[in-house]
Amino acid sequence: MGNFDVTGYLQRLGLDAEPPGADALRRLHAAHVERVPYEPLEIQLGRTTSLEPAASLARILRGRGGYCYHLNGAFSALLRALGYQVTRHHGGVQGSAADAPNVDRNHLALTVTGLPEDPSATWLVDAGLGDGIHEPLPLREGTYVQGPHTYRLRPSEVAPGGWRFDHDPSGSFTGFDFAPGPAEMADFAEKHAWLSTAPESGFVRVCVLQRRDAAGVDTLRALTLNRHGAKELIESPTAWWTAAADVFGVSPAQFTDEERARLWRQVVAQHEAHTGGEAVVSV
């Protein structure tokens, strides 16, 4: 894997190397979504990011995260290095019921096959959805419960031979579809550039940090810290960065004073745009 630091990655996840298996895969997946945050701070700061898994891993090893291309890109490379049979797929996430199902490559989906317990089985693996699955799901039609969320898997209606994941109604998106064939990281470059820079992109419009654990999801959307309806309005930059560090593991020491000030101005503006100009205390 060249400069892909498998040992460092496992240390970041708090795990030891072990042979591929269903239980080992569950441990890797759970540790990843619990420890590596879903966060768009590079986008919020106007910085471009590489799709190369090694570059994504370098940021993860610094205590940061990313979004699906970074998180699933790096995670799939780790799984391959550990001996798993991983396939990357073109996916399409829909943010609301108003969005038609599609596979527009705004999501990198992953599947794993060939586990020794059942070599013929396929597993849906996804560490890049923010408030998505906590552990892998068997790629079989049905309903699955993890923590407070109930998911559904079914054949895709827009990607022949592919699959559809329906999120819990309380989730931050409605679901995603993915195509059956393999994808390369370069296939997502054009969409990644759009998601990172377009004024219409959700990653540009609103700063959202998320972290999944066995019992649920923590979300920081602009100034609102939310855990399943228990909401707290963050009213100062100090409190915002304390939440970023304590809840999501993103240390303010990763950023300059100027960058922290810029991010604070942006999340205040995003909150005020959402609330129609309601003032926020800024200390």
Token duo for residue 107: 């999501």
Report the predicted TM-score, pTM, of the whole model to 2 decimal places. Answer: 0.95
pLDDT of 95: 87
- Give residue-wise pLDDT tens across range 168-194: 999 999 999 999 999 999 999 999 999
Average pLDDT over residues 104-124: 97
- Give residue-wise pLDDT tens across range 242-275: 999 999 999 999 999 999 999 999 999 999 998 8
CATH code, domain with 228: 3.30.2140.10
pLDDT at residue 84 greater than cutoff 50: yes
- Give residue-wise pLDDT tens across range 188-234: 999 999 999 999 999 999 999 999 999 999 999 999 999 988 899 99
pLDDT of 85: 98
pLDDT of 11: 98
Q: 252 lies in a domain? A: yes
Q: 127 lies in a domain? A: no
Q: 255 lies in a domain? A: yes
- Give residue-wise pLDDT tens across range 117-158: 999 999 999 999 999 999 999 999 999 999 999 999 999 999
Distance CA 186, CA 52 (A): 9
Q: 261 lies in a domain? A: yes
- Counted domains in the chain: 1
Angle at 241 between CA 240 and CA 247, to 5 degrees: 90
Q: Domain containing 228: what range?
A: 201-275
pLDDT of 98: 83
pLDDT of 17: 95
Q: 52 lies in a domain? A: no
Q: 153 lies in a domain? A: no
